[in-house]
């Protein structure tokens, strides 16, 4: 087997592989003899068809089969011998001239770029430092109460925080517009779910009252036909209900897994969950800074095949997350192009980080992460068994551990400065 590599533009490569003629023709002859046993050709008994007839009838298709098989067996060996690292599936073009006994193919593909890794020397990383305080815990408990609030009808004007039931018809320049009407709609005043200014104009309204609400759609409104336009709504207030928060009693705590009604254990459990969430947010914050700095220090030319593969993967993940309702949806590639390019670049550079520093996750580190994940579930033992029952699942955990090790190693070369923060700064602000 003779291999010639020609460099194309950028990362493109053309690899010409000349296959041994004797091997090729021997495999063709064998397939033709196999075909002769079952060939049904008029004028010849099965198994008695002359080779020249078989060649005329089946030669071209058999040569195609043999080429396909020899491509599969020779391509990996060829790129390995030439120290090439293809990015994606190659495009194969046959180059066969049986008369001159030339059996070859041209493989066209992009190669992975070489990354001359630069660490984060001179790069500043602001590492958030925060703790969960008693006040944070109490504030979280209040938020949990808010999530389980109920509403009771009241005979008084509506105020912020109340839930009003309304029927409304919107119009622009006297004409109703699509999506501007609703019946028996429940709206919590102050929730900012409607157009800015709408909810505030219903404060002070009572059940049975009619109001005219006038608003202007934001310039950046999602519906471009309505953006920046002035609208008028005829609103009928059907009911006003005031919020009622549940007491922090045994029934309330049981909803969060504290069946014995122990208030101190409940607060300790809330604190533990908050501390876990805080640690995850800090880790994610640092990881984002490190990966941004890493990509800035290591610009990479990407082969299109890598980006396209990431786009396909992100599409698949998005549609899987959407469930059965996403069947038949064709999401545009442009929607994923930017994050796919970042992910492809990061994969290449992080691979070099792992290689340079010879990083390898230990079984103890993998087990610790599985236990950490399992702790957030009602039955941790089942979660642990779930991961250890399948090597593929466990390899996903190993990949996460490896990424954590790479981030830690990169931080050693960066200028890391601790930056004081609060729980709300790091967690609640990101949930808005």
Sign of the torsion angle spanned by Cα atoms 40, 41, 43, 45: negative
User: Is 353 contained in some domain?
Assistant: yes
Domain boundary among 244, 277, 303: 244
Residue 430 above 80 pLDDT?
no
User: Is 288 contained in some domain?
Assistant: yes
User: Is 351 contained in some domain?
Assistant: yes
Of 117, 95, 116, nearest in space to 21 by CA: 95
309 and 220 share one domain:
no
Of 196, 191, 228, 233, nearest in space to 214 by CA: 233
Q: Report the alpha-carbon distance of residue 353 to residue 405 in Å, rounded.
A: 10
Instruction: Show the tokens assigned to 231.
Output: 């609208």
Residue 46 above 60 pLDDT?
no
Domain that holds residue 161: 150-244
Q: Provide the angle, in degrees to the nearest 10, between the axes of the packed helices 337-356 and 304-322.
A: 110
User: Is 299 contained in some domain?
Assistant: yes
283 and 234 share one domain:
no
Contacts of 259 (CB under 8 A, 6+ apart): none
Contacts of 101 (CB under 8 A, 6+ apart): 21, 25
96 and 56 share one domain:
yes
User: Is 172 contained in some domain?
Assistant: yes
Give the per-residue pLDDT at 44.
59
CATH classification of the domain holding 397:
1.10.3120.10
User: Is 346 contained in some domain?
Assistant: yes
| Res. 65 pLDDT band, cuts 50 70 90 | confident
User: Is 144 contained in some domain?
Assistant: no
User: Is 355 contained in some domain?
Assistant: yes
- Number of folded domains in the chain? 3
- Can you spell out the DSSP letters for 222-248? SSTTTTT-EEEEEEEEEEEEEEEPPPS
Q: Report the alpha-carbon distance of residue 409 to residue 14 in Å, rounded.
A: 38
pTM confidence score: 0.75
Give pLDDT tens digits for 151-188: 999 999 999 999 999 999 999 999 999 989 999 999 99
């Amino acid at each position: 087997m003779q291999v010639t590599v020609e460099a194309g533009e950028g990362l493109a490569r053309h690899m010409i592989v000349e296959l041994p003629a004797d091997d090729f023709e021997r495999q063709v002859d064998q397939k033709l003899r196999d075909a002769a046993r079952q060939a049904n050709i008029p004028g010849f008994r099965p198994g008695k068809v002359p080779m020249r007839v078989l060649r005329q009838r089946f030669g071209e298709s058999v040569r195609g089969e043999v080429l396909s098989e020899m491509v599969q067996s020779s391509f990996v060996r060829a790129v390995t011998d030439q120290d090439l690292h293809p990015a994606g599936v190659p495009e194969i073009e046959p180059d066969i001239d049986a008369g001159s006994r030339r059996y070859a193919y041209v493989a066209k593909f992009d190669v992975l770029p070489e990354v001359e890794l630069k660490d984060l020397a001179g790069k500043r990383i602001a590492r958030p430092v925060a703790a969960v305080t008693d006040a944070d815990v109490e504030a979280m408990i209040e938020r949990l109460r808010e999530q389980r609030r109920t509403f009771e009808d009241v005979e008084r004007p509506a105020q912020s925080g109340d839930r009003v039931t309304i029927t409304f018809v919107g119009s622009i320049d006297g004409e109703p517009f699509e999506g501007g009407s609703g019946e028996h709609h429940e709206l919590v005043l102050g929730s900012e779910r409607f157009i800015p200014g709408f909810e505030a104009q219903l404060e002070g309204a009572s059940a049975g009252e009619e109001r005219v609400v006038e608003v202007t759609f934001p310039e950046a409104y999602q519906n471009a036909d309505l953006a920046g336009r002035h609208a008028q709504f005829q609103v009928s207030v059907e009911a006003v209900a005031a919020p009622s928060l549940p007491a922090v009693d045994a029934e309330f705590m049981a909803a969060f897994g504290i069946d014995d009604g122990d208030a101190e254990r409940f607060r300790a459990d809330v604190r533990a969950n908050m501390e876990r969430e805080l640690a995850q947010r800090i880790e994610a914050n640092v990881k984002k800074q490190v990966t941004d700095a890493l990509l800035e220090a290591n610009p990479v030319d990407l082969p299109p095949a890598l980006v396209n593969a990431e786009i396909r993967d992100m599409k698949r993940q998005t549609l899987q997350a959407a469930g059965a309702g996403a069947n038949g949806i064709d999401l545009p590639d442009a929607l994923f192009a930017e994050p796919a390019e970042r992910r492809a670049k990061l994969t290449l550079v992080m691979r070099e980080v792992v290689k340079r520093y010879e990083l390898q996750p230990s079984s103890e580190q993998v087990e610790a992460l599985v236990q950490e994940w399992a702790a957030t579930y009602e039955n941790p033992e089942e979660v642990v068994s779930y991961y250890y029952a399948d090597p593929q699942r466990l390899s996903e955990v190993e990949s996460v551990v490896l990424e954590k090790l790479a981030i830690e190693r990169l931080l050693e070369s960066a200028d890391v400065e601790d930056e004081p923060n609060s729980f709300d700064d790091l967690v609640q602000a990101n949930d808005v």
